[in-house]
Amino acid sequence: MNVVIIGCGVVGATIAYELSQVKGLKITVCDRQPPAQASTGAALGVLMGAISQKIKGKAWQMRQTSIQRYETLIPELEALTNRKILFNRQGILMLLSDSSLEGMSAWEKLVKIRQSQGWHLEIWDTTQLQNMCPQVNGEKVTGAVYSPQDRQLDPTALTLALVDAAQRNGVTFKFGVTVLDAQTSTSESSPKFCDRLETTEGKIAADWFVVAAGLGSTPLTAKLNQVIDIRPVLGQALQLSLRHPLGNANFQPAITGNDVHIVPVGGGDYWVGATVEFPTNGDEIPPNQQLLESVREQAIAFCPELATASILRTWSGLRPRPQGRPAPVIGKLPGFSNVLLATGHYRNGVLLAPATAYAIREMIIPQGMGNQGAGGVGKAGGE
């Protein structure tokens, strides 16, 4: 059975790797750019699972599945490819600046819910916070929530390792290939069947097509007369260098507060981000320098020592946000029997990539058929 995946960001690459473990599939991945460009290359890789406010249904199920899969996926990829993937196992610390009773009771409630789901969260007062993370400015926060089981990783390193591992498992990757058109079966059957794609490298036929192209999914689905409207939202971030770790060198969790992330990446360097910038007219979003500066100032307010850090680089990327429907968009393209969508993850592409891959695998190989692969949690992603 032939499967073609269009798009090689973290989502497309994860799907390719998970499917590469199913016997009898011939998989091709196409992208007009090299892997891990676009939103993946700009992401900070903060995996907010247990600490998120999602507590039930598909939104929580996908988070839980993904966080669990990353624990096995990272060592699996490192062993297979001999690559090192930055994977911070020291958890996520969320700083609180709301001292209201309602604010605290909401967190206490979440701690109990997570406990019943088999996850651990801790609420820290300012004394405990100062003991554990002396770099945090106690005057700016009222406490913190610590999630030891949540993680952070390097999305680019992860994606390149997924491509490498999938290639070793027989997946073909074609970069610099643009889809020009799609051909569907001429019969009036409903749903339709997409026979092949016309690309800059010739025709590609398949039994299944998976659209995992982020913002590129909109023009692609337009070629099939079923437009999935995905709009760009810009995010900017920066890398700061202190040349030594903040606070306790042996305890370096990802710190988040007021939607600003301070992410340790080793050697006393930190990624700080990210802005959320919507298009003002059309799809053009020129990066707003003031917004990036305000993110840096917020990070300094939380960890004052960052004021002395030098800025090594700044970058930006466009996140794919579905218009008028919740993110992400996973499932069959309306009107087609063999075109699957795995796109529009907005700010959670890295977080939800493993669960998305399981969901797609489930649609192509229903449970009980074929090898379930190393993931083994065949069901969770598709609920």
Q: Where are the domains of the chain?
A: 1-88+151-229+323-383
- Partners of 96 in beta bridges: 143
Q: What is the mean pLDDT of residues 17-34?
A: 96
At 372, the pLDDT band (50, 70, 90 cuts) reads: very low
The confidence score (pLDDT) of residue 190 equals: 80
**What per-residue confidence (pLDDT) applies to 284?**
81
Instruction: Quote the mean pLDDT of the chain.
Output: 93
The answer to whether residue 229 scores a pLDDT higher than 60 is yes
- Contact by Cβ (8 Å): 265, 231: no
Greatest Cα pair distance in the chain: 70
Nearest to 43 by CA among 9, 76, 69, 66: 9
Residue 296 has what pLDDT? 98
**Which residue type, as a one-letter code, is found at position 223?**
K
Q: Which amino acid is at 348?
A: N
Query: pLDDT tens digits for 116-171?
Result: 999 999 999 999 999 999 999 988 899 999 999 999 999 999 999 999 999 999 99
Top-level CATH class of 1-88+151-229+323-383? alpha beta
| Residue 352 · residue 212 · CB < 8 Å | no
**121's tokens:** 């969260």
How many angstroms separate the CA atoms of 65 and 378, rounded? 10
Q: Per residue in 79-104, pLDDT tens?
A: 999 999 999 999 999 999 876 667 78
The type of residue at 54 is: K
